[in-house]
């Protein structure tokens, strides 16, 4: 079982693997704090469904025993193993002359009549199964990263550039701040070094400190390309790899929730490169109330920004350095400190996953969980067993998902949230649901093993002192295993995944809807007010006078009424809830704390002044302070009309997704790009954030903090958009009186206005 989870090779301390299409691999291991370097040879491999694809190339046969015993040196540079079973990918091709073989296959495929032209093996998806060379090496060898290491033993280096501007063609680097996880910290700047010397000293320090991982926030979109351009212009070799080589680049994508964002990945031989912006984006896709993914905002959100942290507005950094260099030095030092803290908070699960999944750490940090993490585990297991692999379904399909319903809107007192723990994995285990193509039963075996191990690590983390290295280790592993466990259903429901099975996925969601329906019925029978149901959880209100013990008793009764293997947990209890729409609500804790959830209240598309208004209104709403809400509204209107609201709080914030070339080619106007062009900006990068606001002339301008905005536009938007978010808490007549569009001679009588709740839907039973 340990081999199934962690691979059959127990080698400890692997911190980086570089492997090539020439069958060479280099492995760096950290053992007792020292780095050990190994060179290895391995045959590149891929799977095919038909040996005709080899186009007449001469090959030798190897046996399944050769595969199991690791005797994989292909005679003549090309060999085939006929895998057991009858799945489409039944031929394992092993070669030490991949470039020659690939050219032959591409040529053969191109000559076949009716076949579209291809350029590489990856283009033959469906006929050829291919993984990148580093993954080929890890899968074939049974090795994984970080065995025997804790996160604190990994040597991580953070660096941050300060530049005179954002265009690497015309601007220059004037400061580099560097820190690492062993307490090293230094600031290099042009007070003592010219730009060439600055970059050379940076290279020297990186090589001397010899980190396993290099990190920064937005490192791929800004720091690395800027550094490369300036180094090239100055003739400096960026010998930052452990073999003295420089950066290489390749197109890649970041999995953020249910979407993929393209980016350019930069790699170094022997080191992993991590972008904490990617980690923040992935976290924000789950915890959707995060408004901004920038370093300063993320540091404040996660509570790692020091109270005395130095802030300098971006466009003012170079100018400030010329008059107060120490202030900018403190600012840059705080930047790298916050990157270090964000890494410790957000990358622990990816670190732990790397000890399970045969994939480099830097790629686990950007991968989706289905094809990116689950599939390599399954492929490793099948190849270790010498068994053929299935092919994903040729076409997608649809099936009913989880049940989501809003039963009550408005303000509800005494609210409880209950969840079914790991609903879909529990159903898959309880009902033996797996892909029909999983001949070896690896899918449920892995799922059960991960579930059992996760509980063991979770229990161990609870027993150990909080913050101890052992506690952190067990906590990271249980989080990593939870992430994998909850991804098995997603892998099942992906049509193009090797083991995708939409019928099986549909059965899981059907059973899930049944369980949720049974839980809703059991709750309603016990006299509670159903508020919202979403896939595996329910919010409901309890009668006045109930105690926490009453709530726990209710949850135990409901859990006992559900099928065997289904565990119900009391996830939270709240003094009140404002239910606005499905998955959009506000919770008030019994300690007065406020939690706002959903894009209707918090998102990058909402101007900050609207978000601030809603955040200030919520405590007043829960207190029933209608006069306070009215006063808040009037004060916000007055400050807008007096132009006392900072321009930055009125800006729309948009992340660019197109290059200038792609935007021009599309020939379809989009506001954010037109604002940039109108401001004379001809260059920008995908991933760059643009902020702009509306002026009195109706034009949209970039945020310049001049305060020449159109107050009436923002007053109207305050009422029509942001006040409207409170409409479910009042009758239409009371809402109209509370947020009167125009001033009147007499203030409305607010004493009779009370927050309400309304039944939106009754429970439908099967």
Give tens-digit pLDDT for 354-402.
999 999 999 999 988 767 889 999 999 999 999 999 998 756 677 888 8
* Interaxial angle between packed helices 469-485 and 442-463, expressed in degrees from 0 to 180 and rounded to the nearest 10: 150
Give tens-digit pLDDT for 507-531.
999 999 999 999 999 999 999 999 9
**C-alpha closest to that of 386 among 80, 10, 49:** 80
Tell me what pLDDT residue 475 has: 83
pLDDT of residue 742 exceeding 60, the answer is no
Tell me what pLDDT residue 469 has: 76
Extract the runs of DSSP E, i.e. beta strands, from 84-222.
91-95, 128-129, 156-163, 173-180, 185-189, 213-216
Tell me what pLDDT residue 154 has: 95
pLDDT of residue 761 exceeding 80, the answer is yes
Instruction: Grade residue 766 by pLDDT with cuts at 50, 70 and 90.
Output: low
Give tens-digit pLDDT for 585-620.
999 999 999 999 888 887 767 899 999 999 999 999
In whole angstroms, what is the distance from residue 444 CA to residue 429 CA? 7
C-alpha pair distances (Å), 341 with each of 146, 153, 217, 303: 20, 15, 11, 10
Give tens-digit pLDDT for 218-234.
999 999 999 999 999 99
Element of type H or E holding 206: helix 195-209
Summary mean pLDDT of the chain: 91
Q: Please state the three-class secondary structure of 133-164 as a single string.
A: HHHHHHHHHCCCCCCCCCHHHCCEEEEEEEEC
| SS3 label, residue 126 | coil
Tell me what pLDDT residue 289 has: 61
Positive/negative CA dihedral, 308, 309, 314, 319: positive
Q: What is the dihedral of CA 637, 639, 641, 647, to 10 degrees?
A: -110
In whole angstroms, what is the distance from residue 310 CA to residue 263 CA? 30
- Residues sharing a CB contact under 8 Å with residue 753, sequence separation 6 or more, in sequence order: 626, 730, 734, 737, 738
Tell me what pLDDT residue 90 has: 97
Tell me what pLDDT residue 257 has: 77
- Residues sharing a CB contact under 8 Å with residue 152, sequence separation 6 or more, in sequence order: 181, 469, 472
Tokens encoding 719: 């009422």
Strands 568-581 and 584-588: antiparallel
In whole angstroms, what is the distance from residue 665 CA to residue 662 CA? 5
> Of 133-147, 248-262, 451-465, which one has max mean pLDDT?
133-147
Could you tell me the domains of the chain? Answer: 2-143 (no CATH), 151-353 (3.30.420.10), 608-758 (1.10.132.60)
pLDDT of residue 268 exceeding 60, the answer is yes
Average pLDDT estimate for 315-339: 95
Q: Please state the three-class secondary structure of 519-580 as a single string.
A: HHHHHHHCCCEEEEEECCEEEEECCCCCCHHHHHHHHHHHHHHCCCCCCEEEEEEEEEEEEE
Q: What is the CA radius of gyration of the chain?
A: 29
**C-alpha closest to that of 632 among 650, 620, 649:** 620
Average pLDDT estimate for 68-80: 93
- Residues sharing a CB contact under 8 Å with residue 534, sequence separation 6 or more, in sequence order: 402, 403, 404, 582, 583
C-alpha pair distances (Å), 385 with each of 274, 334, 381, 433: 34, 51, 6, 22
In whole angstroms, what is the distance from residue 320 CA to residue 440 CA? 64
| SS3 label, residue 230 | helix
Tell me what pLDDT residue 1 has: 76
Of 745 and 618, which is predicted with more confidence?
Answer: 618
Element of type H or E holding 472: helix 469-485
- Long-range own/partner contacts, residues 472-480 (CB < 8 A, 24 or more apart): 472/150, 472/151, 472/152, 472/348, 473/150, 473/151, 475/348, 476/151, 476/348, 476/349, 476/351, 476/352, 477/352, 477/355, 477/453, 478/454, 479/348, 479/349, 479/352, 480/349, 480/350, 480/352, 480/353, 480/356
């Amino acid at each position: 079982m340990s081999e199934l989870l962690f691979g059959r090779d127990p080698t400890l301390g692997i911190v980086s693997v570089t492997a090539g299409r020439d069958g060479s691999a280099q492995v760096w291991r950290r053992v007792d704090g020292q780095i050990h370097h190994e060179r290895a040879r391995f045959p590149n491999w891929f799977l095919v469904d038909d040996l005709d694809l080899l186009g007449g190339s001469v090959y030798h046969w190897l046996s399944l025993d050769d595969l199991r015993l690791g005797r994989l040196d292909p005679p003549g540079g090309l060999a085939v193993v006929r895998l057991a079973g009858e799945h489409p990918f039944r031929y394992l091709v092993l070669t030490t002359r991949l470039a020659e073989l690939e050219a032959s296959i591409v040529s053969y495929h191109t000559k076949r009549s009716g076949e579209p032209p291809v350029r590489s093996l990856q283009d033959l998806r469906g006929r050829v199964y291919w993984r990148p060379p580093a993954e080929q090496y890890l899968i074939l060898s049974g090795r994984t990263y970080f065995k025997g290491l804790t996160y604190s033993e990994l040597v991580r280096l953070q660096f941050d550039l300060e530049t005179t501007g954002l265009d690497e063609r015309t601007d220059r680097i004037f400061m580099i701040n560097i820190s690492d996880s062993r307490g090293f910290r230094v600031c290099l700047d042009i007070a003592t070094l010219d730009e060439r010397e600055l970059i050379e000293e940076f290279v020297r320090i990186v090589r001397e400190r010899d980190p396993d991982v290099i990190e920064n926030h937005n490192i791929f979109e800004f720091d690395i390309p800027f550094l490369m351009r300036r180094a090239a212009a100055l003739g400096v070799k960026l010998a930052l790899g452990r073999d003295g080589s420089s950066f290489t680049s390749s197109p890649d994508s970041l999995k953020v929730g249910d979407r993929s964002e393209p980016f350019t990945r930069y790699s170094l031989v022997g080191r992993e490169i991590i972008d904490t912006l990617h980690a923040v984006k992935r976290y924000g896709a789950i915890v959707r109330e995060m408004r901004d993914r920038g370093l300063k905002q993320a540091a404040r959100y996660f509570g790692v920004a020091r109270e005395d942290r130095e802030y300098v507005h971006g466009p003012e950094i170079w100018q400030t350095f010329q008059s107060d260099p120490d202030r900018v030095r403190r600012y840059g030092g705080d930047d790298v400190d916050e990157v270090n803290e964000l890494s410790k908070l957000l990358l622990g699960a990816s670190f732990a996953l790397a000890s399970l999944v045969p994939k480099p750490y830097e790629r686990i940090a950007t991968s989706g969980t289905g094809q990116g993490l689950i599939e390599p585990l399954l492929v490793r297991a099948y190849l270790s067993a010498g068994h053929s692999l299935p092919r994903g379904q040729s076409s997608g399909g649809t099936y009913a998902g989880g049940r989501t319903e809003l039963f009550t809107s408005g303000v509800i007192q005494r609210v409880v949230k209950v969840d079914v723990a790991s609903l879909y994995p529990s159903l898959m285990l309880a009902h033996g649901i797996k892909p029909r193509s999983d001949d070896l039963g690896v899918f449920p075996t892995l799922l059960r093993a991960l579930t059992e191990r996760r509980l063991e690590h979770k229990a161990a983390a609870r027993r150990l002192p909080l913050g101890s290295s052992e506690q952190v280790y067990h906590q990271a592993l249980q989080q990593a295993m939870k992430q994998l466990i909850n991804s098995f259903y997603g892998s099942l429901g992906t049509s193009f995944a090797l083991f995708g099975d939409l019928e099986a996925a549909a059965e899981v969601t059907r059973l899930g809807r049944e369980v949720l329906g049974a839980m809703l019925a059991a709750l309603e029978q016990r006299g509670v007010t159903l508020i919202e149901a979403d896939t595996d959880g329910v919010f409901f209100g309890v009668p006045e006078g109930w105690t926490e013990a009453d709530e726990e008793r209710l949850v135990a009764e409901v859990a006992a009424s559900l099928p065997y293997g289904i565990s119900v947990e009391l996830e939270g209890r709240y003094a009140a809830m404002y239910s606005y729409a499905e998955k959009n609500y506000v919770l008030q804790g019994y300690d007065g704390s406020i939690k706002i959830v959903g894009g209707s209240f918090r998102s990058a598309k909402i101007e900050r002044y609207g978000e601030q208004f809603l955040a200030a209104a919520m405590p007043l709403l829960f207190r029933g302070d209608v006069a306070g809400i009215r006063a808040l509204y009037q004060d916000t209107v007055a400050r807008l009309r007096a132009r006392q609201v900072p321009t930055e709080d009125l800006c729309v914030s948009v992340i660019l997704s197109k290059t200038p070339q792609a935007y021009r080619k599309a020939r379809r106007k989009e506001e954010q790009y037109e604002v940039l062009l109108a401001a004379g900006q001809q260059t920008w990068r995908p991933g760059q954030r643009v902020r702009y606001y509306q002026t009195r002339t109706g034009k949209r301008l970039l945020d310049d903090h001049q305060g020449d905005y159109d107050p009436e536009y923002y007053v109207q938007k305050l009422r029509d958009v942001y006040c409207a978010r409170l409409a479910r808490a009042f009758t239409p007549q009371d809402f109209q009186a509370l947020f009167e569009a125009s001033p009147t001679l007499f203030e409305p009588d607010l004493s009779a206005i009370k927050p309400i709740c309304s039944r939106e839907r009754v429970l439908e039973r099967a």
